[in-house]
A and B are shown apart, each in its own frame.
Chain A
Amino acid sequence: MMNIRFSRKQLCIPYALFLICFVVLPLAVIVYYAFTDGSGRFTLENLLSFFSNGNTIGTLCYSLVIAAVVTAVCLLVAYPVAYVLARSGLKRGPVILMLFILPMWINFTLRVTALKEILTVLEGNLSLHPFLNTVIAMTYDYLPFMILPLYTTLLQLDESLLEAASDLGAGPAAVFFRVTLPLSMPGIVSGITMTFLPAMTNYVILDMIYNSTYIMGSLIGSYFNIYDWNNGSMISLILFAVICIVTLITGRGDRNNAENRGAIL
Chain B
Amino acid sequence: MKKIISYSWLAIVALFMYVPVLILAFYSFTDSTTIGTVREFSLRNYVTLFTTEELRDMIVGTLLLAIGAALIASVLGTVGAIGAFYSRQGVRAAVETANQVPVVNADVVTAFSICILLIVVFGIEKNTFIPLVIGHVVLCAPFVYLAVMPRLRQMDSGLYEAALDLGATPFQALYKIVIPQIIPGIISGFMLSVTLSLDDYFISTYTKPATFDTISTYVVNATRGAQTEIKTALWALSTVIFLVVILVVVLMNVASSGPAKRQEVNAYDSREKD
Residues of A within 8 A of B (CB): 6-16, 18-20, 22-27, 29-30, 33, 77-78, 80-81, 83-85, 88, 95-96, 98-100, 102-103, 105-111, 113-118, 120-121, 140, 143-144, 152, 156, 193, 197-198, 200-204, 207-208, 217, 220-221, 224, 229, 232-233, 236, 239-240, 243-244, 247, 254-255, 257-259, 261-265
Chain B residues positioned under 8 Å from A83 (CB to CB): 6
Q: Once the chains bind, are B20 and A117 in contact (CB under 8 Å)?
A: yes
Contacts A12-B84, A13-B83; A29 near B121 (Cβ below 8 A):
yes
Chain B residues positioned under 8 Å from A120 (CB to CB): 35
Contacts A11-B79, A12-B84, A110-B241; A88 near B6 (Cβ below 8 A):
yes
Q: Once the chains bind, are A14 and B76 in contact (CB under 8 Å)?
A: yes
- The contact string, 1 if C-beta is below 8 Å from chain A, for chain B 227-268, is 000000011011001100110110001000000000000001
- How near does chain A come to B234, taking the closest CB pair, in angstroms? 7
- The contact string, 1 if C-beta is below 8 Å from chain A, for chain B 120-153, is 1100000000000010011001110111001000
- Name the contact of A9 in the complex, choosing from B17, B87, B188, B253 (C-beta under 8 A): B87
Chain B residues positioned under 8 Å from A8 (CB to CB): 82-83, 85-86, 170, 174
Alpha-carbon distance A236/B113, docked complex (angstroms): 8
Q: Once the chains bind, are B189 and A81 in contact (CB under 8 Å)?
A: no
Alpha-carbon distance A217/B215, docked complex (angstroms): 20
Interface membership of B116, Cβ < 8 A = yes
Residues of B within 8 A of A (CB): 3, 6-7, 9-10, 13-14, 16-21, 23-24, 34-36, 76-77, 79-88, 91, 94-95, 98-110, 112-117, 120-121, 134, 137-138, 141-143, 145-147, 150, 169-171, 174, 188-189, 191-192, 195, 198-199, 201-202, 206, 215-216, 219-220, 223-224, 234-235, 237-238, 241-242, 245-246, 248-249, 253, 268-269, 271-272
Q: Once the chains bind, are B191 and A265 in contact (CB under 8 Å)?
A: yes
Classify the secondary structure of B's interface with A: helix
Q: Once the chains bind, are B271 and A259 in contact (CB under 8 Å)?
A: yes
A-B contact count (CB 8 A): 271
Q: Once the chains bind, are B17 and A103 in contact (CB under 8 Å)?
A: yes
- How near does chain B come to A32, taking the closest CB pair, in angstroms? 9
Q: Once the chains bind, are B113 and A26 in contact (CB under 8 Å)?
A: yes
**Of B10, B95, B143, which is in contact with the most chain A CB atoms at under 10 Å from its CB?**
B10
Q: Once the chains bind, are B17 and A262 in contact (CB under 8 Å)?
A: no
Contacts A229-B116, A257-B103, A262-B189; A98 near B174 (Cβ below 8 A):
no
Q: Once the chains bind, are B245 and A10 in contact (CB under 8 Å)?
A: no
Alpha-carbon distance A93/B179, docked complex (angstroms): 33
Q: Once the chains bind, are A203 and B9 in contact (CB under 8 Å)?
A: no
Q: Once the chains bind, are B188 and A262 in contact (CB under 8 Å)?
A: yes
Q: Once the chains bind, are A197 and B104 in contact (CB under 8 Å)?
A: yes
Q: A12-B86, A102-B246, A202-B108 are in contact. List 18 more A-B contacts (CB 8 A).
A: A12-B84, A14-B79, A14-B80, A15-B95, A16-B94, A100-B14, A107-B238, A108-B216, A114-B23, A114-B238, A118-B20, A152-B272, A201-B106, A203-B108, A207-B220, A258-B142, A262-B143, A265-B191
Q: Once the chains bind, are A109 and B220 in contact (CB under 8 Å)?
A: yes
Of all A-B residue pairs in the complex, the 9 with the closest CB atoms, nearest first, are A15-B80, A12-B83, A11-B83, A26-B113, A114-B20, A109-B219, A201-B106, A8-B86, A19-B98
Chain B residues positioned under 8 Å from A156 (CB to CB): 269, 272
Q: Once the chains bind, are A81 and B13 in contact (CB under 8 Å)?
A: yes
Contacts A20-B98, A117-B24, A203-B108; A26 near B13 (Cβ below 8 A):
no
Closest residue of A by beta carbon distance from B173: A8
- How near does chain A come to B9, taking the closest CB pair, in angstroms? 5
- How near does chain B come to A245, taking the closest CB pair, in angstroms? 11
Contacts A23-B102, A27-B101; A18 near B76 (Cβ below 8 A):
yes
Chain A residues positioned under 8 Å from B3 (CB to CB): 88
Chain B residues positioned under 8 Å from A25 (CB to CB): 117
Question: Would you list 17 pairs from A and B whose C-beta atoms are within 8 A, ordered by A residue?
Answer: A15-B79, A18-B80, A19-B99, A23-B99, A24-B101, A83-B6, A88-B3, A102-B246, A107-B199, A109-B223, A114-B238, A156-B272, A203-B108, A208-B223, A258-B146, A259-B146, A262-B147
**Of B98, B108, B121, B174, which is in contact with the most chain A CB atoms at under 10 Å from its CB?**
B108
Alpha-carbon distance A76/B223, docked complex (angstroms): 31
Chain A residues positioned under 8 Å from B242 (CB to CB): 106
